[in-house]
Amino acid sequence: MAVGESQSGIMDSYLDATPRSRVAHERSVAVMPGGAKGAYHYAPYPVFFESGDGCRLVDVEGRTLVDCANHHTAQIVGHRHPAVMAAIEAQLKRGVVLGGPTGVETELAEELCDRVESLERVRFCNSGTEATLHAIRLARGVTGRPKIAKFEGGYHGSHDAVEISVAPPLGEAGDPLAPTAVPGVVGMAPAAAEDVVILPYGNIDAVTGIVESHAAELACILLDPKAGMLAPVDGFAVAVSELAREHGILLVADEVVAFRLARGGWQQTVGVTPDLTTFGKLVGGGFPIGAFGGRADLMDRLDTRAGPTGFFQSGTFSAHPVAMAAGLATLKQLTPEAFERLDRMGRQLESGLTAVFGRHEIPLTCVVAGSLFSLYFLPDPPRCYRDLVAGERGWNSPVFHSLLQQGYFLSHSLAMNALSLPMESGDVDGLIAAVDSSLERVLSDGQP
């Protein structure tokens, strides 16, 4: 087969199969720059969806796809779960937003505090972005220190304090063991990067050196374990947590994605007790949400009942009752048995993919954590951002489209995918077989 033949064939088939998505896309870009949001786009245009039910999506052409992306990992119990739908409908009957608390937010807060050992108090907002913004602000306010530390490659939302060194070009990123702080987007406050210290993920000696030299000015260390994206490094989170404690630096665990791993979150799986934790995604049951919480003595600075404390957090739609009801109903489904089921399917996927990768001649690997998974064209599971960017990415798009053609919808980068509870082991086997045949087809071209 000529180089590129099957890959261009895959694209031609996509164009033939998706005329309605193309029309919808053209209409959308006339009024929204490039489409509804950055993360939706992939070439040549994204599939537009009509509906979702359980672990399946139906696109506007009427094709059924197994949903392995689950709305950027936010959907865990599947689409239109009966208990979640019932909770949403019951809440809607009371009105949408009423200008005061309705009590459902207390129930969700209680549920979270019951699940996550480090959580004594929690506050709700509208996105993971807001959650990290408020957690960092609280950390700066409490410690009186100006800077924060985050890991290279860590994404914590879209605001100036964290959009630093998220995906820096290697030419600007500096020494892998002492990375340079690189602003992620244009238009940020010119000094934004000056307040952020960048740490190399996975190397505790290098992290210790950097933290020690900035200790007196660091308010917090923001740590996202990148579950399902980076291979876990044994003992690393505990070591970071001890280092932070030693220097009076607050540890903020970003569990916007990682809360998918266990009833008590990622922190339960590694035995770390952060000072503050941020949440989002699944906690809203499919509705916009963010939450941040932790030690009572820190969070109680936000208690302004007796008068201004200088600290403040609010928001027109924060603690939105419908999101609270959907989130609560979702969490109620997430029993220990549910996590066991998700973990079992994750292990099935990992062993199936590993066997598939062994049959192909180029470097391929996957990272699976609980129900989260990523596929990479790399010889070994990446342990940090620098490993990640070393991978070949030219095959991502053809493999993504080939999987789509076979009825499996993944993230278009092939990273940060997620299984959901309504999936059956047959869906997982189907996905493994689809990955195998996608690789067979795409790699036959020889070059990305």
Ligand X SMILES: Cc1ncc(COP(=O)(O)O)c(C=O)c1O
Give, as ranges, the residues between 131 and 160 that touch ligand X (CB under 6 A): 132, 155-157
State the Cα–Cα distance between residues 25 and 44, nearest whole angstrom: 10
- Choosing from 254, 387, 427, 445, which is the catalytic residue? 254
Q: How far is the CB of 372 from ligand X (least distance, A)?
A: 11
Q: Which two tokens stand for residue 70?
A: 């689950």
Span interacting with ligand X, options 19-27, 127-135, 364-372, 381-389, rule CB under 6 A: 127-135
Report the nearest approach of ligand X to the CB of residue 186 (Å). Answer: 19
* CA atoms within 13 Å, Cβ hemisphere of 129: 8
Q: Write down the catalytic residue from 45, 67, 150, 155.
A: 155
Closer residue to ligand X (CB): 396 or 411: 411
Q: What tokens were used for 404?
A: 């789509």
Q: Which is nearer to ligand X, 66 or 256 (CB)?
A: 256
Point out which span in 44-52, 122-130, 138-146, 204-212 binds ligand X (CB under 6 A).
122-130
Do 374 and 68 touch, CB atoms closer than 8 A? no
Residues 29-88 that bind ligand X (CB under 6 A): 72
Is 396 among the residues that bind ligand X (CB under 6 A)? no
User: Which residue of 111, 160, 224, 275 would you call a contact of ligand X, by CB under 6 A?
Assistant: 224
Instruction: Please tell me what DSSP assigns to residue 235.
Output: T
- Contact with ligand X (CB under 6 A) among 129, 371, 405, 420: 129
State the burial class of residue 169 (Cβ atoms within 10 Å of its Cβ: 0-12, 13-18, 19+): exposed
Q: Does 163 help bind ligand X (rule: CB under 6 A)?
A: no
125 is an interface residue for ligand X by CB under 6 A: no
Q: Rounded to the nearest 10 degrees, how much is the dihedral formed by the CA atoms of 121, 126, 251, 159?
A: -150
- Dihedral angle over CA of 81, 82, 85, 86, nearest 10: -150
Of the pair 260, 441, the CB lying nearest ligand X is at 260
Among 266, 265, 280, 319, CA closest to 133: 280
Beta-carbon contacts of 195 under 8 Å, excluding residues fewer than 6 positions away, are 146, 147, 148, 161
Residue 42 annotated to the active site = no
DSSP of 3-36 = TTHHHHHHHHHHHHH-HHHHHHHHHHHTTSTTSS
3-state class of 398 per DSSP? helix
Phi first, then psi: give them for residue 336, nearest 5 degrees: -55, -35
Q: Which residue is nearest to ligand X (CB)?
A: 128
**352 lines the binding site for ligand X (CB under 6 A):** no
Shortest distance, CB of residue 162 to ligand X, whole angstroms? Answer: 8
Site string for ligand X, 239-258 (x = CB under 6 A): ---------------x-xx-
Is residue 265 part of the contact set for ligand X (CB under 6 A)? no
Q: Does 371 help bind ligand X (rule: CB under 6 A)?
A: no
Reduce the DSSP state of residue 197 to 3 states and report it.
Answer: strand
Q: How far is the CB of 258 from ligand X (least distance, A)?
A: 7
Least distance to ligand X, CB of residue 376, Å: 17
Clarify whether 93 is annotated catalytic.
no
Active site residues: 155, 254, 281
State the residues that interact with ligand X by CB under 6 A: 72, 127-129, 132, 155-157, 224, 254, 256-257, 280, 290
